[in-house]
Chains A and B, each alone.
Chain A
């Protein structure tokens, strides 16, 4: 009996050590000629919930399908530029309320049907529909109607100006209006069509022979899904995958940096880790308390602990890739004495106690532990309540039943959520809402940028949340791979340019 038990214990202790072994490099690469017949094996930690981005498909379906299977009227390139894609061009009326889009000819869906303006109308209306769960739904609220006057044109009428309309349309997938059940199947116009989706394991994309544009540089891609970062890195070390879309463990990088068989690239990310307060309820309805908490936490040290020198501090909701970025890290500097004074001024000289709802996956529990020890220094007691992603969604996001929470926000240009008092954190500031509303109705991007900078500065001054840090975007690939995206903007991952030699 006891030998069996001892075996179990030993296994539990040693299985971890074993996880990191097997450190063989990939086979030597003889030639440098791209192999158009090669299939690219992609490792990711973000498996789609379903295949529809208007039905809660999540970050995973954006990563796998955006630009690969589905295309928009416009494309947001990896460098953050907006380019024409299914639209050849567009015109805006002088009052800024009518957009006329000219569609590209010769585009067919994977099912063989030709692209028509009716499909575009249907696709936009899917996102704005009442039951749509698209994260971008509110950005398209200006759209009043979509008309299809002829075979090659789509006309969008707006209720008010919307300076980011074209940008926002990069997120609207154009789908076949006749397609059924898009949660498990697809019918897009992209360079790849869906091969097979084995839930919990892989999703393969095959080259679409009827693609209108430049064919992909490879013969197809397979996304391999892992829930565990260590397992994913081992897959890369043993050649089971060629590339990891987003490396989540800095300590695993040591295996790849300095190894000629791999290349590590650090690009720009838009993912922010937030300590979000419930701005509706005491004590966090008081800006001074929120500022004190922000100043009591050493963000630089937290970032160093979790990311070991990668990533950056931003001091607010806007990452450097958004046009209205400003370095606001000095607004609520790390200063324990300042935090104590602010707490005293707010009437909490002896501190207080609150529960921090913490999602159960990394890095949240580690960050929560750190915050607890930091806030203890100013007399604030933190009770860490670990919850699942589902619980977070219902308890925090829907029911607003929380004091403070930790969450990563992946989207770009999402500072606009501070203009919505009904959002989960309940930041209700008439001035900010107005600036954000006016920014979208601005005549020029410059005017929009100016207003959003003001809004961003103000939420930082009021510590609407505590923006702990901006994630790094680290892509690790076998060195025989080239042409892959390095910036994880809005978590998309264009696979069509990837070459294997």
Chain B
């Protein structure tokens, strides 16, 4: 079954990065701030992937970077998911002017470029891991909310909901018993896709210097720092790039796989 294979492949890729991040919590080849490695030492020997300009071990920094990428990815999905689903439910249940107002607000939020929004958040707060999570989560919440709203409206239009309403079911119970169970598979797929986008957004922010400040070894920052030395030490730029591809492609495969597994029409149309 195609869905199952896609899902498995995605899990392997994401699992790889996750494993690296978990290992980094208990063991690292070097201290991330150890500068004794010599300038741009080539791969091999003491430093498996070589060192950067300051003599820091590249493998160590990549491992710490995996942690940052996953933290920001998961953190922003949490922020975006909670805000987005809440706003989406509100808009879905609301009628007339409140629904119109919320929809308009969401459209504006979605139209706002993520990076620009992030720059605003960074300007108000400061460049940090938290700011990056808030900024990316906020941008994501618009997309999630709009999807949730549509899904909620579709469920609410069903006859059994009307029946349930006439029999006096309160709306919190409607949400927990009828709405959420019906919309979560679609939401989950969407949130998985958003996780990939969040990882990319964090890399872009760090590349622009708006992510967690140095010496944090975010992959985007590694790419930026390696830019000047790409000809003399190409691995410094290639390695974080490859890891980004692995994680984002992995997350997308998981999302695709989830969609195929959760959607009966796709399951039958093999």
Contact = CB atoms under 8 A, between A and B. Distances in A.
A404 to B, nearest CB: 15
B215 interface: yes
Contacts of A230: 227-228, 230
Given A5-B252, A251-B232, 5 more contacts: A6-B245, A12-B203, A301-B35, A304-B39, A370-B54
B130 to A, nearest CB: 15
9 contacts: A5-B197, A12-B200, A12-B204, A13-B240, A16-B237, A17-B234, A301-B35, A369-B33, A376-B33
Q: Which of B54, B223, B256: most chain A CB closer than 10 A?
A: B54
Contact of B245 (A13, A251, A306, A362): A13
A372 B255 CA distance: 41
Nearest to B203: A12
Interface in A20-69: 20
The winner among A14, A365, A369, A374 for most chain B CB atoms within 10 A is: A369
Contacts of A10: 241, 245
Interface in A373-398: 373-374, 376, 384-386
Contacts of A365: 209, 213-214
Contacts of B255: 2
A6 B234 CA distance: 21
B215 A372 contact: yes
Interface in B189-216: 193, 196-197, 200, 203-204, 207, 209, 213-215
Contacts of B240: 13
Contacts of B193: 1-2, 5
Interface string A251-290: 1101100000000000000000000000000000000000
A372 B249 contact: no
Which residue among B40, B193, B228, B237 has the maximum number of chain A CB atoms within 10 Å of its CB?
B228
Q: Is the interface of A mostly helix, strand, loop or mixed?
A: helix
Contacts of A304: 39
A229 interface: yes
Given A2-B256, A5-B196, A16 B230 contact: yes
B226 interface: yes
A249 B228 contact: yes
Nearest to B236: A16
B248 interface: yes
B185 interface: no
A139 interface: no
A72 to B, nearest CB: 36
Given A8-B200, A386-B214, A13 B232 contact: no
A369 B54 contact: yes
A370 B200 CA distance: 27
Interface in B242-270: 242, 244-245, 248-249, 252-253, 255-256
B227 A16 contact: yes
Contacts of B71: none
Contacts of B209: 360, 365, 386
B53 A305 contact: yes
Nearest to A364: B214
B200 A9 contact: yes
A8 B200 CA distance: 9
Nearest to B207: A12
Contacts of A179: none
A149 B60 CA distance: 73
B241 A12 contact: yes
Interface string A174-216: 0000000000000000000000000000000000000000000
A310 to B, nearest CB: 12
A254 B234 CA distance: 13
A362 B209 CA distance: 11
Interface string A349-376: 0000000001010100110111011101
A475 B34 CA distance: 33
B241 A385 contact: no
A12 B214 contact: no
Contact of B228 (A2, A251, A358, A370): A251
Contacts of B99: none
Contact of A254 (B196, B197, B204, B231): B231
B74 interface: no
Contacts of B242: 13
Contacts of A374: 35
Contacts of A255: 231
B230 A12 contact: no
B231 A20 contact: yes
B200 A5 contact: yes
Contact of A372 (B33, B225, B226, B245): B33
A304 B37 CA distance: 13
